[in-house]
Amino acid sequence: MSLLALSNVSVRYGRLTAVRGVSFTLAEGEVLFVTGPNGAGKSSLLRAIAGVTPPAGGRIDFADHDITGRAPEDIARLGFSMVPEGREVFGSLTIEENLLVGTGMHASTRGWRARAASELEAVYATFPVLKERRHSQAGLLSGGQQQMLVIGRALMTTPRLVAIDEPSLGLAPNVTDQVYERLIALRAERRLTLLIVEQSSTRAMMVGGRMMLMRGGEIVLDGDARALGQSEAMHAAYFGYGEH
Amino acid sequence: MARASILRRTIATPLILSALLLGFALIAWASGSRPFNQTVIDIFLQVILVVGLYTFIGNSGVISFGHIAFACLGGYVAAWTTIKPMMKGIAMPGLPDWLMQMEIPYWAAALAGGAFAAFWALVFGAVLMRLSGIAASIATFAMLAMVNAIYSNWSSVTAATSSVVGIPIVRSIWPYLIAAILAVFVAWAFSVSRFGLALRAAREEPTAAAASGVNIPRVRLIAFVISGAIMGAGGALYAHSIGIVTPDTFYLGLTFTTLSMLVVGGMGSLSGAVLGVLILSSLIQVLRWLEAGVQVGTGTFALPGGVQEIALGAVMILILMFRPAGIMGNSELTGRRARAEKPGEPGHA
């Protein structure tokens, strides 16, 4: 049984088509890297699944619900948590307040308090640096800490799937290593399904898992990250050799 | 508990602000001067209105030009429910009989004014909160114009543009102080509630907030209704402070003054809202004295009329130029030394 299933999904911005008829399924517990050059439609695909940019066509199912065109907050409540590109922390809120926003609005006040407290402890256990600085403004954190904060915020919604758009963007390689270390550990602890968008395929090859390569709004390759990474087809597809 | 810790960490702010307001009240009480008393009552009324504005604008980052409409709704509720039935019969013959006979105390009128304004905030807000940015701001302005047009023309219920007189005047300073302190506490409680948190998150990064499960139009609507209630109660008390209402009491002039106070103090901060009122009111008061004329040696020195408004405008422009996030920026008075803040970081409004 797949957790996420896309069939023939397209995304358009006015007359520009960013994603053309993409179909794939993702099973519970899987790690999927979506890679590809700039403008391949990776982020648009993610935003369409999260409901931020409603798809122009096709159908998206998540956790046995048809979520096509649903509002992002509804999709988040079903357990799909997206970390948008560029680490959008709520800069003037404290770290703790940032995390609490993630616990959502739907629980009753009493249920909310109890859940918020236990989720906070869990996130602080994963990212001790966040606990140390819990009362400082999120805008003052370093890039790596902000990345951990937004991942922590995504975890506060008790998601089944976490989708992250370019977690390595603007981070030093050793900081990126730390972020990935935590992600992999989290996946094991929480049985999380991960959908990670990265421009380069090297990270996917290091971490392993499944990799999809997008170009021109379409999926051109789909397979095991390590196997694909070493193949000629990968390079050809990434750079578009031999198409003309 | 997570939430309890937020309450504990932030409760200093409303306490400090209340102490500040109490200080003003005590000075007025000790002075025993009637005009000074009236000035401090005006200040408390402005605090209520500006704190009401902050509750929506500060947390949502959406500028509203229309909130004074809610004060208008509240002010007329005070007129409808507290004027002697005989006088109402002459000025506003179109009122339904139950309302015509009603004569309730001023504090009940303030509560009723708040409830009435909250109801209309819910109705208007259900439509307006789907808009964002400048479109939302302009739509709130349209709301102000609509309310003003209705109250200026529905003569059998509002006496149109003529003054409605006979509202019992409350001259004691304490009810206004209590109301201002209540407004401060309501605003604080909202902004640290989960809805307030969600709204402030949406102000900064709408996409990330929605992806975290925040229903932005809904949390905006909650803030709109609460701020509408505060403005409505403030409008009713305003009516009781002067005894008269006209639609133009609650129109562009008051909109401009209250918004300038919020901008000067800092739109993203409750402390800023209160300090903005205290600072600008003091400035206005000084200018009023100068406009009226002061004895200098043998002659009198008087500023030409209108200097008040010009000075307000100038202060607002200067603040926007040199401290765009207002005096307080996004921070609050906490009684502790400020945490390390990024200097001069512009607000997200």
B84-111 burial by CB neighbour count: b if 16+ within 10 A, else e? eeeebeebbeebeeeebebeeebbebbb
Quick check: is A244 in a domain? no
Q: What mean pLDDT do residues B40-56 have?
A: 97
| pLDDT > 60? residue A118 | yes
Q: How many domains does chain A have?
A: 1
- What CATH number did the domain enclosing A93 receive? 3.40.50.300
**Number of Cβ pairs closer than 8 Å across A and B?**
115
pLDDT at B69: 97
Residue A107 predicted with pLDDT over 70? no
Measured between CA atoms, the residue of chain B closest to residue A120 is B2
So what's the pLDDT on residue B341? 42
Nearest partner of A195 among A13, A175, A207, judged by Cα: A207
pTM: 0.88
Of A76, A90, A103, the CB nearest to B211: A76
User: Looking at the predicted structure, is the pLDDT value of residue B305 above 60?
Assistant: yes
* Run of H or E including B116: helix B106-128
The whole-number pLDDT of residue A203 equals 87
Percent residues over pLDDT 90 in chain B: 70
The answer to whether residue A123 is domain-embedded is yes
Beta strand ranges found along chain B (DSSP E): 164-165, 244-245, 294-296, 299-301
Is residue B29 pLDDT above 50, yes or no? yes
Q: Which of A81, A90, A117 sits opposite B1 (nearest CB)?
A: A117
Is A84 within 8 Å of B3 when comparing Cβ atoms? no
| ipTM at complex level | 0.83
Q: For the residues A179-186, what does the mean pLDDT come to?
A: 89
Task: Please tell me the predicted confidence (pLDDT) of residue A238.
Answer: 73
Task: Please give the pLDDT value at position B51.
Answer: 98
The structural domains of chain B, with segments of one domain joined by +, span 2-249
Closest CA to B211 of A183, A187, A125, A159: A159
The two three-digit tokens of residue B60, written as one number? 């949502």
Residue A112 within any structural domain of the chain: yes
Q: Does residue A177 belong to any structural domain of this protein?
A: yes
Report the pLDDT value the prediction gives residue A230, as an integer from 0 to 100.
79
Phi-psi region of B159 (alpha: psi -120 to 50; beta: other; left: phi over 0): left
Mean pLDDT of B239-249: 95
User: How far apart are the CA of A223 and the nearest CA of chain B, in angstroms?
Assistant: 28
What is the rounded average pLDDT for all residues in chain A? 88
Question: Looking at this protein, which amino acid is placed at residue A98?
Answer: N
Least confident span in A47-51, B275-279, B285-289, B345-349: B345-349
Q: How many angstroms separate the CA of residue A62 from the nearest CA in chain B?
A: 15
The residue segments making up the domain with residue A100 are 2-239
For residue range B5-28, list pLDDT tens digits in order: 677 788 999 999 999 999 999 999
Tell me the C-alpha distance between B84 and B136, whole Å: 40
Q: Is A8 domain-assigned?
A: yes
Cβ contacts of A73 on chain B, cutoff 8 Å: 210, 213-216
Residue A43 has pLDDT above 90, yes or no: yes
Report residue A243's pLDDT band, with 50, 70 and 90 as the boundaries: very low
Q: Mean pLDDT, to the nearest integer, of B164-187?
A: 96
Across the interface, whether the CB atoms of A73 and B6 are under 8 A apart is answered no
